[in-house]
């Protein structure tokens, strides 16, 4: 799709007044020329005719992945077969890849294990946290849950509560710090709200929950890979996250689990599979948990998707997460400015906070015609998604999104909504 001038006016299709937008293209060019991360874009397979703003649902394909998958299938599986568990390092992949993710979430070696889905890891973390809380004494029978959480987290919390004799109490995420009390066993919080893109105060909420004698479990699905997280520095107890959004691991890529080092020996996983046994090949009838990160494993790792993720993580070589955050804020600032200039007043309302301290790496626009508008945006080469009933959602992946694309996307939004 060429970046041409706006379509001509028609009597019954008003267009926004773009007479004052001539500076935006020049500014986008200057920002792209100064972009510290511009070199990373070539590490992805991208369509120059498409502005891809859905990396907060599924990241773009890293160029290294197809070749690596072919090698795994043709050589490691096809020729070596079962020998690859040792000779190709398949057995140690969950911890090895966890160590690759660890710096992106502010964790150390041996603190992150990769495997299973986010939902499964939320379940492990919640039940494990409640068991630790119960071991400290009776009376903690409450799981606090972010009231705006992604639905699955709420479903899992309800199941964990039924299994552990707790009750779930849903409160707004920004009230969790104040609501945590003597009955709270654990709080489950999303770092970034999936609908609005609001970033919550991980250090402050974690400290308040800990001060109340409870534990905190953080869902990092919409923050890891988009901004600094610093799990160890802020004393986070448990964290989980997916790898197919800002970490670009591919559809259905395995998730990860973080357990604070001081809690690892007390972590009693509700899913004690043979892979997390201290001697997995002893095939013992009694369970003895492994030490460290392997305690978070369950069953046989999903090797194909896991090794695709490992190859995908190569895009982070030479990338500073601080530079990613700086560009994320610059991209979203510029997008909001362009939307204000290209989209007629009153057609959209930003649900994403203006304050940098409260913004993730997405912008959500409330729009009455959202469900009709997004298919047309996609047809015109601007890919985002919709959250019903009326939210247009756009994710900004700093590793491959340019400022020129941001301007183009806002201009097309203005055309479609007009």
Concatenating the DSSP letter of every residue in 272-289 gives --GGGBSSGGG--SS--B
pTM of full prediction above 0.85: yes
Is residue 267 located within the same domain as residue 168? yes
Q: For residue 393, indicate whether it is catalytic.
A: yes
Percent pLDDT > 70 in the chain is 95
| Distance linking the first and last C-alpha atoms of the chain | 19
Q: For residue 327, indicate whether it is catalytic.
A: no
Q: For residue 123, indicate whether it is catalytic.
A: no
**Hey, is 23 helix, strand or coil?**
helix
**Hey, is 50 helix, strand or coil?**
coil
Is residue 53 located within the same domain as residue 156? no
Q: Which of 219, 237, 302, 385 is catalytic?
A: 219
Q: Which of 297, 393, 408, 411 is catalytic?
A: 393
- What average pLDDT does the segment 3-20 reach? 43
Distance CA 249, CA 254 (A): 8
Confidence (pLDDT) at 368: 96
Confidence (pLDDT) at 14: 40
CATH number of the domain bearing residue 390: 3.90.1150.10
pLDDT mean across residues, the chain: 95
Determine the structural domain holding residue 349 and report its residue range. Answer: 22-62+320-417
Confidence (pLDDT) at 403: 98
pLDDT digits (tens, 9 = 90+) for 64-93: 999 999 999 999 999 999 999 999 999 999
End of a domain among 300, 331, 347?
300
Residue 17: pLDDT over 50: no
Distance CA 250, CA 178 (A): 38
Confidence (pLDDT) at 20: 61
Confidence (pLDDT) at 15: 45
Residue 260: pLDDT over 80: yes
Q: How many domains does the chain have?
A: 2
Is residue 122 located within the same domain as residue 160? yes
Q: Which of 44, 150, 200, 258 is catalytic?
A: 150
What Rg do the C-alpha atoms of the chain give, in angstroms? 23
Position 315 confidence tier, pLDDT thresholds 50, 70, 90? very high
């Amino acid at each position: 799709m060429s970046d041409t001038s706006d379509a001509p006016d028609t009597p019954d299709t008003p267009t926004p007044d773009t007479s004052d937008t001539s500076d935006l293209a020049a500014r986008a060019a200057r920002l792209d020329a100064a972009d510290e991360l511009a070199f990373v874009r070539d590490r992805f397979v991208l369509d120059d005719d498409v502005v891809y703003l859905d990396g907060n649902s599924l990241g773009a394909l890293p160029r290294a992945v197809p070749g690596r998958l072919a090698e795994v299938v043709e050589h490691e599986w096809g020729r070596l077969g079962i020998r690859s568990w040792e000779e190709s390092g398949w057995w140690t992949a969950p911890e090895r890849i966890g160590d690759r993710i660890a710096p992106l979430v502010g964790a150390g070696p041996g603190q992150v294990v990769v495997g299973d889905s986010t939902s499964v890891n939320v379940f492990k973390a919640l039940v494990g946290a409640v068991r630790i809380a119960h071991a400290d004494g009776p009376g903690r029978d409450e799981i606090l849950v972010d009231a705006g959480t992604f639905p699955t987290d709420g479903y899992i919390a309800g199941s964990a509560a039924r299994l552990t004799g707790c009750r779930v109490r849903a409160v707004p995420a920004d009230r969790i710090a104040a609501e945590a009390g003597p009955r709270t066993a654990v709080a489950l919080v999303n770092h970034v709200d999936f609908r609005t893109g609001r970033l919550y105060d991980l250090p402050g909420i974690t400290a308040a929950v800990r001060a109340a004698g409870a534990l905190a479990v953080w869902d990092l699905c919409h923050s890891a890979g988009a901004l600094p997280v610093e799990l160890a520095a802020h004393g986070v107890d448990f964290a989980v996250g997916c790898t197919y959004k800002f970490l670009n691991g591919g559809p259905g890529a395995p998730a990860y689990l973080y357990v604070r080092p001081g809690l690892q020996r007390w972590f009693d996983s509700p899913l004690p599979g043979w892979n997390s046994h201290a001697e997995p090949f002893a095939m013992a009838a009694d369970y003895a948990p492994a030490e460290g990160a392997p305690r978070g494993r369950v069953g046989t790792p999903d090797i194909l998707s896991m090794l695709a993720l490992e190859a995908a993580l190569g895009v982070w070589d030479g990338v500073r997460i601080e530079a990613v955050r700086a560009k994320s804020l610059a991209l979203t600032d510029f997008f909001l400015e362009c939307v204000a200039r290209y989209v007629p007043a009153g057609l959209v309302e930003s649900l994403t906070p203006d304050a940098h301290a409260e913004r993730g790496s997405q912008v959500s626009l409330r729009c009455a015609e959202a469900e009709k508008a997004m298919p047309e945006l996609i047809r015109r080469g601007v890919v985002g998604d919709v959250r019903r009933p009326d939210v247009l959602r756009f994710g900004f992946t700093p590793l491959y999104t340019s400022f020129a694309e941001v301007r183009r996307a806002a201009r097309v939004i203005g055309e479609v909504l007009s």
